[in-house]
Amino acid sequence: MKVCIVYCHPSEDSLTRHLKDSFIKGLESSGHSYILSDLYKMNFHTDMSEAEYKREAFYKLDAPVPSDVIIEQEKINSCDIIVFIYPLFWSEAPAKLVGWFNRVFTYGFAYGDNRTMKTLDKALILVSAGNTLDYFEETGIGSAMKKVFLDDRLFDRVKYKEMIIFEATSRENEALASNSRKLNWDKHLERAFELGAGL
């Protein structure tokens, strides 16, 4: 299987980066291939231009699509599976990843009558989050996150989709007696490896 990984984190010194590395090691251990879009390293431009807005707002298939967007679309269509790896910022993906969707999921590619985006077999969303799973369940934030990402952004573009939250990753937890960040670190990396190997 070929996997398109869209990775979004501003720092190399993060659990999220290690999750990405462990996931890739899992992929490689099972003989899968992958292509990586590291949005910060690529300095992917995420602000939609006026021309791009007008193309989307007026459903203009004949209007040009920027070359950097076409590259991302070609990556998606060359793969069977797409995986998003990012940290949670205020109950949402980082702005750079949201902007990637705004620009890459264009009319005629991700939506519209003549959609050219292939239907992918699977999507995984791997999210590192400071809070616990209990918190996300009690507040309803976890359900809201899944609704937006799985049901709106991915919708029928993917046959099977799942969001996995790697909980209690905040550095604030290092000061607590339970030290849940350190306790969870190895467990999270092992899970990421298993997810990659099990595709």
Give 73-127 pLDDT, tens digit per residue.
999 999 999 999 999 999 999 999 999 999 999 999 999 988 999 999 999 999 9
Please state the domain extents for the chain. Answer: 2-197
Q: What confidence category does residue 34 fall into, taking pLDDT thresholds of 50, 70 and 90?
A: very high
Structural contact between residues 79 and 4, judged by C-beta atoms closer than 8 angstroms: yes
pLDDT of 183 reads 73
User: Which residue is listed with tokens 């007026």?
Assistant: 58
Q: Average pLDDT in the 57-69 region?
A: 96
Q: What is the pLDDT of residues 38-53, one digit of tens each?
A: 999 999 999 999 999 9
Q: What is the pLDDT of residue 177?
A: 44
Question: How would you class 9 by CB atoms within 10 Å of its CB: exposed for 0-12, middle for 13-18, buried for 19 or more?
Answer: buried
> What are the backbone dihedrals phi and psi of residue 23, each rounded to the nearest 5 degrees, phi first?
-60, -45
Enter the pTM of the model: 0.94
* Tens of pLDDT, residues 136-181: 999 999 999 999 999 999 999 999 999 999 998 876 645 444 556 6
User: Strands, DSSP E only, in the chain?
Assistant: 2-7, 33-38, 81-87, 120-128, 158-166
For the domain made up of 2-197, the CATH class stated in words is: alpha beta
- Predicted local confidence at residue 160, as pLDDT: 98
pLDDT of residue 171: 66
Query: How far from the centroid of its chain's Cα atoms is residue 167's Cα?
Result: 16
Single-letter residue type at 156: D
